A and B are shown apart, each in its own frame.
Chain A
């Protein structure tokens, strides 16, 4: 991760944000039964997903916010794409519901992870990176009519295993490079007066894992 402060208004985040343009275009193509155009739009959306990382490296504007924004954009673009293909009958609805449910669960776990870390940080998982890319392909398989049943049903158990694996790491394992060891006194006091419960110090992760955190960022 870069040491200098990076503005959220940078070229990499602009590329990430530009992916939202493809959601209405995809909707238009699906609504008009244009399989090839829909496939083209989802391929372009996927290419921009790869391009934003490259732009971040070229302009040296990598940031924790950018990673988080990219993850949220993945969820919104691919999630809405999956809903569209299922709604128009181009993909089976049940696996799409399972995939979106698991995706929402993973997003909720990411917010728990951010709370545990005490700062805006993207939870990086090699397996989840791969499954997110597969989600992009899933929409492409539906728009091109390519082995839709096989690809959609194969995805569900794979994603379930990854969500369970990552949940353990996000909820149980120590958070690398987390903030202070105890909850700030004023916050703890405020909590005790409003909730009428004993003040409990929140134990954060061991600092010994900070090196691993840097490697992940």
Chain B
């Protein structure tokens, strides 16, 4: 069964993981800032609280993804 060379596969996987993690991190940072702004304007409901918690989890996942990609490529 034909497969990609190891180096190419490694590069593609790193690119995909870092790309997803980076976009995820930026997306959730932006939306967290918006949610916090909404909180400051006095909106306090369970949906907003759930969104804030979800964005914090998303940021944590994004950071883990980026750290994992850097470690995979021997940066640290």
Across chains A and B, the number of contacting residue pairs, with CB separation under 8 Å, is 75
Contact: A37 with B46, CB < 8 Å?
Answer: no
Q: Interface size class for chain B? A: 20 to 34
Contact: A158 with B13, CB < 8 Å?
Answer: no
- Tell whether A58 is near chain B: CB-to-CB under 8 Å: no
Assuming the contacts A137-B20, A169-B46, A212-B47, asked whether A146 and B13 have C-beta atoms less than 8 A apart, the reply is yes
Contact: A134 with B1, CB < 8 Å?
Answer: no
For chain A, what secondary structure do more than half of its interface residues adopt (helix, strand, loop), or is it mixed?
A: helix
Measured in the bound complex, the distance between the Cα atoms of B48 and A215 in whole Å is 11
- Point out the residues of chain A lying under 8 angstroms from B67, CB to CB: 150
Residue B51 contacts which of A126, A151, A154 (CB distance < 8 angstroms)?
Answer: A126
- Point out the residues of chain B lying under 8 angstroms from A43, CB to CB: 16
Residue A173 contacts which of B46, B54, B57, B58 (CB distance < 8 angstroms)?
Answer: B46
Contact: B46 with A158, CB < 8 Å?
Answer: no
Contact: B57 with A39, CB < 8 Å?
Answer: no
Contact: A125 with B71, CB < 8 Å?
Answer: no
For chain B, what secondary structure do more than half of its interface residues adopt (helix, strand, loop), or is it mixed?
A: helix
Measured in the bound complex, the distance between the Cα atoms of B10 and A35 in whole Å is 11
Taking A125-B54, A126-B50 as known contacts, 19 extra A-B pairs with beta carbons closer than 8 A to each other, sorted by chain A number, are A34-B1, A36-B3, A36-B9, A43-B16, A125-B50, A126-B53, A126-B54, A127-B57, A130-B58, A130-B61, A137-B17, A137-B65, A141-B17, A144-B9, A146-B69, A151-B68, A162-B57, A212-B45, A212-B47
Return 29 A-B CB contacts under 8 Å, by A number. Answer: A35-B9, A36-B3, A36-B4, A36-B9, A37-B1, A37-B3, A126-B51, A126-B58, A127-B50, A130-B24, A130-B54, A130-B57, A130-B58, A131-B57, A137-B20, A140-B13, A141-B68, A144-B9, A144-B13, A146-B14, A146-B17, A146-B69, A147-B72, A150-B64, A158-B60, A158-B64, A169-B46, A212-B46, A216-B47
